[in-house]
């Protein structure tokens, strides 16, 4: 496996299967060190810029805390406090920041902004979320599944809801590690066709990548996953509750899956919409484990790309 040092993470497609498993293994080791409260300052004297054009709870906190654990300085930059708000190009800012910092995390809207920044920057750029992809989230999800199931290959993951950035990145991530994955959405809300085609191309031999409009695809699933029905930046869209209600992750759909299935949600959750309280708080839920594992997998990514 080639070194990940200096590598960008923009979509998750940049990583091979071996590189993903390397990061998951490194994340487990860093998690062990954190739980033992043993110092692991692998990025001492490093600085990472965190550019946030979208609001955040988990992404901001997990990156700031993770960088602190690693002995690095997290430089949080809100869009409205930067010259971006006065017309400076992202490319110019990326080129300048590369002279100051050792890495850049960006949470933004259009995926093109992530890619333009990466082209201009001379340090690793990590996508903390864009409209099309959420690679750090899915790495944390894969870590959670690996911890709970002791494997990834051969498992079936069914995602129900909007074909958003999480669904699209799940397609790629699950396909790369050998999971069967199906994204189930109402008609007209599926993932982008080119991303589905990419996932099909990247899948491991013998695995399936599918898109469906039938919630019954939850049958026999090892993992049931959902996300909000209206993503950030889409709040002005008409109320879609009635179209999405058949895809609600509720007790009936959980009963179709395997008895020991994992229930996953990347948060924040709109309880009573895409997921019920009983399922969110039920015995199959690993939602809080997902949230925690963002911390550990992002630390592994930072160490691999920057350290």
Active-site annotation holds for 227: yes
pLDDT at 234: 58
Q: Is residue 206 part of a domain?
A: yes
156 and 189 both lie in a single domain: yes
The pLDDT of residue 86: 77
Whether 120 and 57 map to the same domain: the answer is yes
**280-302 average pLDDT score:** 98
Instruction: Indicate whether 11 belongs to any domain.
Output: no
Once rounded to an integer, what is the mean pLDDT over residues 62-70?
98
Question: For residue 81, what pLDDT is reported?
Answer: 83
Q: Is residue 2 part of a domain?
A: no
Which position among 113, 203, 294, 296 bears the catalytic label? 294
pLDDT score of 3: 85
Instruction: Give residue 37's pLDDT band: very low, low, confident or very high (50, 70, 90).
Output: very high
Same domain, 58 and 191: no
**pTM of the predicted protein model:** 0.96
| Residue range of the domain that includes 198 | 137-290
Whether 276 is in a domain gets the answer yes
- pLDDT-derived band at 155, boundaries 50, 70, 90: very high
In the annotation, is 41 catalytic? Answer: no
Residue 188 has pLDDT above 80, yes or no: yes
pLDDT at residue 275 is higher than 80: yes
9-19 core/surface letters (b: 16 or more CB in 10 A; e: else): bbbbbebebeb
Give me the catalytic one of 46, 137, 162, 298. Answer: 137
> CATH number of the domain that 230 lies in?
3.40.50.1370
Quick check: 237 pLDDT over 70? no
Instruction: Reply yes or no on whether 294 is catalytic.
Output: yes
User: Does residue 188 fall inside a structural domain?
Assistant: yes
The answer to whether residue 1 is domain-embedded is: no
Q: Which token pair is 17?
A: 């299967």
Catalytic residue among 46, 58, 60, 107: 107
199 inside domain: yes
37: annotated active-site residue: no
**Is residue 44 flagged as an active site residue?**
no
Q: What is the pLDDT of residues 23-32, one digit of tens each?
A: 999 999 999 9
Active-site residue, from 168, 180, 227, 290:
227
C-alpha Rg value of the chain to the nearest Å: 19
| 166, 119: one domain | no
What's the token pair of residue 192? 């982008």
Q: Is residue 9 part of a domain?
A: no
pLDDT band at 299 (very low <50, low <70, confident <90, very high): very high
Question: Whose structure tokens read 């990025």?
Answer: 43
Phi, psi of 241 (to 5 degrees): -55, -40
Point out the catalytic residue in the list 113, 134, 203, 265: 134
List residues bridging with 78 in a β-sheet: 52
Taking residues 161-190, what's their average pLDDT?
A: 98
Q: Which residue, 88, 89, 90, is CA-closest to 49?
A: 90
Whether 134 sits among the annotated catalytic residues: the reply is yes
Which of the following is catalytic: 266, 290, 296, 298?
266
> Mean of the per-residue pLDDT values for the chain?
96
| Residues 165, 264 within the same domain | yes
User: Tell me, what's the pLDDT at 196?
Assistant: 98
For position 80, what pLDDT does the model report?
84
The predicted pLDDT at position 280 comes to 98
């Amino acid at each position: 496996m080639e070194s990940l040092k200096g590598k960008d993470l923009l979509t998750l497609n940049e990583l091979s299967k071996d590189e993903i498993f390397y990061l998951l293994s490194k994340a487990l080791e860093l998690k062990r060190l954190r739980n033992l409260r043993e110092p692991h300052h692998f990025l001492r004297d490093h600085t990472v810029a965190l550019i946030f054009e979208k609001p955040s709870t988990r992404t901001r906190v997990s990156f700031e805390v993770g960088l602190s654990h690693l002995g690095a300085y997290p430089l949080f930059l809100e869009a409205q406090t930067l010259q971006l708000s006065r017309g400076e190009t992202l490319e110019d800012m990326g080129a300048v920041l590369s002279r100051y910092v050792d890495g850049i995390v960006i949470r933004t809207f259009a995926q093109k902004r992530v890619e333009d920044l990466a082209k201009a920057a001379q340090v690793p750029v990590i996508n903390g979320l864009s409209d099309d992809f959420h690679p750090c989230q899915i790495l944390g999800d894969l870590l959670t599944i690996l911890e709970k199931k002791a494997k990834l290959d051969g498992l079936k993951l069914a995602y129900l809801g909007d074909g958003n950035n999480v669904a699209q990145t799940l397609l790629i991530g699950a396909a790369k590690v050998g999971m069967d994955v199906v994204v189930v959405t109402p008609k007209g809300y599926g993932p982008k066709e080119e991303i589905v085609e990419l996932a099909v191309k990247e899948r491991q031999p013998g695995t399936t990548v599918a898109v469906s409009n039938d919630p019954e695809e939850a049958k026999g699933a090892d993992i049931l996953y959902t996300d909000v029905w209206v993503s950030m930046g889409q709040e002005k869209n008409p109320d879609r509750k009635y179209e999405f209600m058949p895809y609600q992750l509720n007790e009936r759909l959980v009963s179709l899956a395997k008895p020991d299935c994992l229930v996953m949600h990347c948060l924040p959750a709109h309880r009573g919409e895409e997921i019920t309280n009983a399922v969110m708080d039920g015995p199959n839920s690993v939602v809080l484990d997902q949230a925690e594992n963002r911390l550990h997998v992002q630390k592994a990514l930072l160490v691999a790309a920057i350290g």
